[in-house]
Structure 1
Amino acid sequence: MPTTSPEIGQSIAAAGVKTNYHDQGRGFPVILIHGSGPGVSAWANWRQTIPLLAQSRRVLALDMAGFGYSEPQADGAYSLERWVEQAVGFMDALGVEQADFVGNSFGGAISLALAIRHPQRVRRLVLMGAAGLEFELTPALDAVWGYTPSVENMKTIMSTFAYDDSLLTDDLARLRYEAGMRPGVQEAYAAMFPAPRQRWISALASPEADVARLPHETLVVHGRDDRVVPVSNSQRLASLIPRSQFHQYGQCGHWTQIEHAARFARLVNDFLAEADAAA
């Protein structure tokens, strides 16, 4: 992929990880953490969300270690703890004391764990199609984490993400395939979630007792037709988190931020604006 790719933003060292990130807008910061699909990056995940939120706040979207254009872990070892450390190190490197967090799927698990471990660093929390609790591995998630590289396999994987098949173009599948084929990227991805994969759901899960003690105002969002992470996971999150609200989109799969881009951004912005007004 050429170095002019829009996926490449700025670079900073975050807890020892050379981290690629995007920084747009002004105001109270919101940090966006992407999911764990093959070929994913912050830009691929949030390209429609970033400009909409950046109209009223500072938007920071980073590639987690081993994804996108951030460097992989030198020892090939990945864990929830290390990704949380990277996110906190990212805040420290930019001098951001506190931020709102929006986490998608795998990114929801990271955001949730960060809020539990570092509650003072989080103002409000948005969990979208989030992991972060124990649930039974779905066939779709097993296929996503078990992806082997080909354009055809990428298109099959992407079909599990969206409710609306019109989003799944050959060009998009090829772009995601090519992104995942850059040197070291597929090797890093294969090292993260090897079979048997139920254990990686457990590894990303936070204890329910800790979730139930979260003090943060939290917006939980899920697509009703999600085949990757079951909507029941978000229903449980919302029932556990004391200061939470739950929003479900019909005719929507795992890609809420893409399939309902404008509605999702408006919902998130309104939720975060309540805290802006109270500040």
Structure 2
Amino acid sequence: MSGARPDVARTRLPDIEERTVRGAGRETFVREAGSGPAVVLLHGSGPGTTGAAWERLMAAMAPDFRVIAPDFVGFGRSRLLPGAESDGTHPYGRRVWTAQVLELLDELALDRCAVVGNSMGGAIALSVAHARPRTVTRLVGIGTLGLDMPLPPGLDQLWSYRPGRAAARELLELLHVDEAFRTDEAVEARLTATLEPGPRQAFAAMFPPPRERWVRDLALTPDELARIRVPTLLVHGAEDRVVPLEDSALRLLHLLPDVRAHVFGACGHASPVERPTELHRLLTDFLGKP
């Protein structure tokens, strides 16, 4: 099987505004499209990943929502400013990325918004909802991290990535069940994205071994999770090898007070890519089409 799925190929990308928002100690690169209730989309921790990973979902949502997709610091075109981490702490992780999103909400004057996070972005979405319960109206975690678990082998492979054509192909095989998303063109695109000097250097320093500590760093405690009372939707691929279903969504169903879940069969870690049309329907139903 090769080539893109028809529903992906037909999606028309909207006009996306790009800008840099400068805050305290950091610059956040943001993509924005549409109008209506605000939805903030938080990307995952895959090498070469940026807010651009959401562009097809942004295309589908823009007619009804104001969709905002930032790059986390260390990814894409977001960066810490010199001296921002002068206290010697690790310049990445839950604390830094949560503060970045909260600062962005303030800079954009968003006093009400939904937050959708994929993988690591899901952990930060949970963290933001815990920090700002009166701001977050709805919460979605897709293949989400955010609770303590043994380091999954697939996540260890993802975080230990070093650029190379063979490694890029192995990464796509890890992320996708559907061979349509593991083409030679996709391999070259992933390789090119991971060769960008700034993000490449940042990623190499982001998750050094022992990597179990970064899973713990992104995890909320059971008490913190219990305090997140915003309606929450969990979306997961049944064959997710990066964040296994049984270690994430199935456990969160017992820890979050107002939660529901949808599982895609024959789907891996990248359901926004593999199931964009179905995911859009899920999100529109859950977020409430204006």
TM-score range, shorter-chain basis? over 0.9
Of residues 16, 19, 32, the one that matches 1:10 is 19
Question: Structure 1 204/7 Cα, relative in aligned 2: closer, same or farther at 3 Å?
Answer: farther
Of residues 156, 170, 189, the one that matches 1:175 is 189
CA deviation string 1:25-75 (max 9, x = no partner): 1101000000000000111x2122111111211000000000012124645
Question: Structure 1 214/220 Cα, relative in aligned 2: closer, same or farther at 3 Å?
Answer: same
Q: Give the corresponding residue for 2:8.
A: none
Which letter does structure 1 place at the counterpart of 2:127?
Answer: A
* Residue 154 (structure 2) pairs with residue 120 (structure 1): no
Give the percent of matched residue pairs that are identical in Structure 1 and Structure 2.
37
Cα distance in 2, alignment partners of residues 7 and 40 from structure 1: 18
Question: Structure 1 190/10 Cα, relative in aligned 2: closer, same or farther at 3 Å?
Answer: same
Aligned pair count?
A: 269
- Shift of residue 263 of structure 1? 0.3
Cα distance in 1, alignment partners of residues 17 and 37 from structure 2: 23
* Residue 30 (structure 2) pairs with residue 21 (structure 1): yes
Give unpaired runs (5+ residues) of structure 2: 1-14
* Residue 48 (structure 2) pairs with residue 42 (structure 1): no
Residue correspondence of structure 1 range 126-165 to structure 2 within 5 A: 126-165=140-179
Question: Structure 1 146/7 Cα, relative in aligned 2: closer, same or farther at 3 Å?
Answer: farther
Q: Give the corresponding residue for 1:3.
A: none
Conservation of the 8 A alpha-carbon contact between 1:11 and 1:20: yes
- Shift of residue 8 of structure 1? 8.8
- Shift of residue 103 of structure 1? 0.4
Cα distance in 2, alignment partners of residues 19 and 198 from structure 1: 27
* Residue 82 (structure 2) pairs with residue 82 (structure 1): no
Question: Structure 1 150/8 Cα, relative in aligned 2: closer, same or farther at 3 Å?
Answer: farther
Cα distance in 1, alignment partners of residues 54 and 68 from structure 2: 10
Of residues 226, 229, 234, the one that matches 2:249 is 234
Question: Structure 1 205/73 Cα, relative in aligned 2: closer, same or farther at 3 Å?
Answer: farther
Q: Give the corresponding residue for 2:9.
A: none
- Shift of residue 183 of structure 1? 2.2
Cα distance in 1, alignment partners of residues 29 and 17 from structure 2: 7
Which letter does structure 1 place at the counterpart of 2:58?
Answer: I
* Residue 222 (structure 2) pairs with residue 201 (structure 1): no
Which letter does structure 2 place at the counterpart of 1:137?
Answer: L
RMSD: 1.7
* Residue 32 (structure 2) pairs with residue 31 (structure 1): no
- Displacement over 2 Å in runs of 4+: 6-9, 72-76
Give unpaired runs (5+ residues) of structure 1: 1-5
Q: Give the corresponding residue for 1:269.
A: 284
Of residues 53, 64, 77, the one that matches 2:61 is 53
Conservation of the 8 A alpha-carbon contact between 1:145 and 1:193: yes
Q: Which deviates more, 225-234 or 163-172? A: 163-172
Cα distance in 2, alignment partners of residues 178 and 58 from structure 1: 30
Of residues 214, 217, 239, the one that matches 2:231 is 217
- Shift of residue 173 of structure 1? 1.9
Of residues 275, 278, 283, the one that matches 1:260 is 275
Conservation of the 8 A alpha-carbon contact between 1:98 and 1:120: yes
Cα distance in 1, alignment partners of residues 212 and 81 from structure 2: 22
- Shift of residue 118 of structure 1? 1.6
Conservation of the 8 A alpha-carbon contact between 2:237 and 2:267: yes
